[in-house]
Amino acid sequence: MSATPQRRGAAASASGVPGNGSGAPGRNFGEEGGRLTYGAYLRLPTLLDQQVLESDPPARDELLFISIHQVYELWFKLLLHELGEIRRAMTDDEVWLARHLFRRVHAVERILVDQIQVLETMTPQDFMAFREKLAPASGFQSVQFREMEFLSGHKDPGFLKRFRGLTDDEKERLDRRLAEPSLWDAFVMLLRRRGLAAGNDDEISESLVTVAHDRNGHDDLWQLAEDLMTHDEMAALWRQRHVTMVERQIGTKSGTGGSTGAPYLRSRLDLRYYPLLWELRTLL
């Protein structure tokens, strides 16, 4: 009857771990749990205290609206971190790492698109019950979203003039994103370090054709270019789903931030971060 405990003790002694199962000598995760809890690690009391409704009496779907958009901002924070790491990896010639992180980025971007269907469970009537409380706030004012666009390669200084209520910190962040290299800049610099001409758009296009036709010599560059394309495509899919959702909710009403609403969003549907990669398809 004592064979099983003896075997456990022998295995623990052989591994140098006194039977704690943690894989680290002298540690017991069961006891350490008393020092740091799940809620404390994730700052859950603070996080879950941030869904403050503006409507009075509380509108039924305002919690849904706030939660969805706060979750978006959390995903944006992660994407900014990963895209920054991708840029650094390209600069350091770590193409394998850039490609690995792009897989994570693409997975998150698919969630961003799918998440819209949760918001679409809110009826127009339920949205109108609290929509007037949003003005003049608007998704147009998402600083992190603009940071992602600037980092991806779509740099429009005019957005800074159209933003309302920017803090000094937010303006500094956007100015920095405008001044620093984009993902496309890092990719072009990588082409040059590989001995490919990339002085202007025509040279870049010719080099992209070379990369496409020489997969034996440039497959990592081709695959990285495809990752950039997927990032661009996922952004386009999100814009398409977003404008459709807005039209389903408010039709052609003006946005709460003063924009034209859906017509403005539709004007951005043809935006491309990397037009030369899209044009490459015609050249092949």
> What CATH number does residue 221 fall under?
1.20.58.480
Q: How many domains does the chain have?
A: 1
Q: Which residues of the chain have pLDDT under 70?
A: 1-34, 136-139, 253-261
How far apart are alpha carbons 133 and 176 in whole angstroms? Answer: 32
pLDDT digit string (tens) for 230-243?
Answer: 999 999 999 999 99
Residue 171 included in any domain? yes
Task: Give binding residues for heme as ranges.
Answer: 242
- Residue at 118 is within a domain: yes
Residues marked as binding?
Answer: 131, 242, 256
Per the structure block, which two tokens stand in for 201? 């758009």
pTM comes to: 0.85
Binding-site annotation, residues for substrate: 131, 256
Q: Output the pLDDT for position 32.
A: 57
Q: What is the largest CA-CA distance in the chain?
A: 79
Q: Is the residue at 241 inside a domain?
A: yes
Q: Which residue has the tokens 């995903």?
A: 75
pLDDT tens per residue, range 48-95: 999 999 999 999 999 999 999 999 999 999 999 999 999 999 999 999
Token pair belonging to 33: 């749990």
The verdict on residue 183 lying in a domain is yes
| DSSP result, the chain | --HHHHHHHHHHHHHTS-S-SSSSTT--HHHHTTTS-HHHHTTHHHHTT------SSPPTTHHHHHHHHHHHHHHHHHHHHHHHHHHHHHHTT-HHHHHHHHHHHHHHHHHHHHHHHHHTTS-HHHHHTTGGGTTT--GGG-HHHHHHHHHHT---THHHHH-SS--HHHHHHHHHHHHS--HHHHHHHHHHHTT---SSHHHHHHHHHHHHH-HHHHHHHHHHHHHHHHHHHHHHHHHHHHHHHHHHHHTTPPPTTSS-SHHHHHHTTT--S-HHHHHHHHH-
Contacts of 67 (CB under 8 A, 6+ apart): 51
Instruction: Please indicate, yes or no, if residue 271 is contained in any of the structural domains.
Output: yes
pLDDT reported for residue 35:
77
Domain of 182 in residue numbering reads as 55-283
Considering the domain boundaries, does residue 192 fall inside one? Answer: yes
- Please indicate, yes or no, if residue 133 is contained in any of the structural domains: yes
